[in-house]
Chain A
Amino acid sequence: MREIGAMLRAQWRIALTYRTRMVLSLLSVLVGVIPVFFVAQAVQPLLAGALVDQGGQLFSFIVVGTIAMLFLTSAIGTMPAAVGSGISTGIWEAMLATPARVWGLLGGFTAYDLIWTLVRSVALLVAAWALGARIAWGGAVLSLGVLLLIVLAYLPIGILSAALVLALRTTTPLPRVVVIVSVFLGGVYYPTSVIPSWIQRVSDWVPLTYGLRALRRALLEGWTMRQILPDVEMLVLFDAVLLLGACAAFAAALRYARRAGTLAQY
């Protein structure tokens, strides 16, 4: 944990030297929600029937999907970007030469971005609520837990991409493919029930399908943990399998990079 704490502090200090960027990052979230509100109002009658059990309101449905996407892209993209730039600057090599634990360093690279995503998400949710989104605030804590499980399901893709950066010097199209598949099949902007039935079978293999359904039921319908348990169980299963596989892949990539002597070359 000491590595994560130290990196969080450092990243926060760095972020403070980019104050305008911080403000713009928050403003873009707040401004971006306004057109979503009007488009959702216009399309609401078409999808109302498909939104039963998930809030019944397209605007809040999309806002929750957008929040999940913010976390998903952060979980997938931050780690490989940090490792890639760390290799080219020599920061990664300098850190690996200390007694700091590798997993702590990886956690440290990701933690600040995830916390900042949480801040932006809260701002987005409050702005949406002010515009009329129906939020069941009582389910906020349970929603945070579900969000954590979503992050843990996609963090392995980030770890795997970082492993590819170490071994092959490229993330390959993996992160992009995962994001696209998750957006189209995970029910970010529309419920999975409206997509053709044969594709729905594919969406059963997308962790976001379960994550978003549980998240919306908790945050928009106020469902309890007991009620969303089946989706949570699937998420936990995804988390366990993917995390184990990704950690093994990263450890192997690090060994390979040490053998090939490429930790410091890009």
Chain B
Amino acid sequence: MADAGERGAASDAVLQVRGLTKRFPVARDLPALLRDPLRRARATALDGVSLTARRGECVGVLGPNGAGKSTLFRVLLTLVLPDAGSATLCGLDVTEDAEAVRRLVAGVSPDERSLYWRLSAYENLRLYATFRGLRGTGREAAIRDALGVVGLDDVGAQLVGRYSSGMRQRLLIARALLARPALLLLDEPTRSLDPLAARAFRTFVRDDLVQRQGCTVLLATHTAEEAFETCDRVVVLDRGRVVAEGAAARLAAAHGGDAYELWVPVGTEELVADAVLATAGGRRLGVRPAAEPGWLAVRVALAGGAAAAASLVDRLVRDGVAVGRAEPVRPSLAELLERVTGRERPGAGAAEREAGDA
């Protein structure tokens, strides 16, 4: 973004995180305290996290709950001091140059209560614009722009208490955009948005913020659509460590395998199962009734990409099985995390077995 982004133009890497480690003290119960009064219990939130983000890049930060995403964001927002490692934003250290870093970074937390509900949206933004050092016509223009971007310009004079949850979420986003930050940290920004507003916001982040204005965005999300469609790259955290990193599509392909969904007529399951087993790396993932009566949607994993898929379809046709549809399927975020972190989602195994048995 304009001013702040230019400061980082000297180096392409706006954000550099190296070996960031943070352990929080853990409160112990009385018996444990009596047994060993000198021991200091600590929980690891970040364990040597390293990552880089370039100017005008959107990096997805994925991971199960407790993976360390929020702690990473809080360190970058200068709200938490790291125990070890470093993080620099446009060459400024988040610990040593905290005050200067705060001018370059802004975050969107999903907590609506951090707004003043008895103030209008305009007044909320005016307060934070002043904190950001904006004054006069510049402040008014920034507020107008921010309200316009999130589609609240018509209701900016209303008290925030009268807003819906989604509108408050949009106001939180507007509050962060006031700063015209070099680095924008979005922590589940579309959690309370309706699907249309969420899509519009993703388009805004990708096309306007990132591509046009060159803002660097770190996006923590639990939504596959958001991670794959908005982010250039994703970083997967688990138990405070980076367990996978790369282009979103490549990571999905690497860890999700080449998954395809085929529509075949009901009653051809056995023929399909044989054909899948005969194809390189073929594995049946699940079967469910398709959207049209008389058809089944069979989900399969193949090792050979498009060539393997073509070979499978060819084999099915030769066996007399009509193929109504054959298309690649992106793994869900839960599946991806499960494979990357090696953890199983609660209840996931049973659900998938059920799907497979259907």
Contact = CB atoms under 8 A, between A and B. Distances in A.
A99 B102 contact: yes
B21 interface: no
Contacts of B126: 6, 9-10
A10 B80 CA distance: 27
Contacts of A259: 80-81
**Chain A CB within 10 A, most for which of B77, B80, B107, B132:** B80
Interface string B123-148: 10011101111000000000000000
Contact of A264 (B79, B131, B175, B179): B79
Interface in B102-160: 102-103, 105-107, 109, 111, 113-116, 118-120, 123, 126-128, 130-133, 159
Interface string A1-23: 01101110110011001100000
A94 B114 contact: yes
Interface residues of A, number: 29
A6 B24 CA distance: 34
B131 to A, nearest CB: 4
A159 to B, nearest CB: 20
Given A6-B126, A264-B74, A98 B113 contact: no
A35 interface: no
A87 B184 CA distance: 22
Consensus secondary structure, chain B interface: mixed
Given A6-B131, A90-B113, A263-B79, A98 B24 contact: no
Given A91-B114, A261-B74, A5 B130 contact: yes
Nearest to B99: A99
Interface string A225-266: 000000000000000000000000000000100111101100
Interface of B: 22, 24-25, 45, 71, 74, 77-81, 99, 102-103, 105-107, 109, 111, 113-116, 118-120, 123, 126-128, 130-133, 159, 175, 179
10 contacts: A5-B130, A6-B130, A10-B116, A10-B126, A17-B159, A90-B109, A91-B114, A94-B128, A97-B106, A98-B102
Interface of A: 2-3, 5-7, 9-10, 13-14, 17-18, 89-91, 93-100, 255, 258-261, 263-264
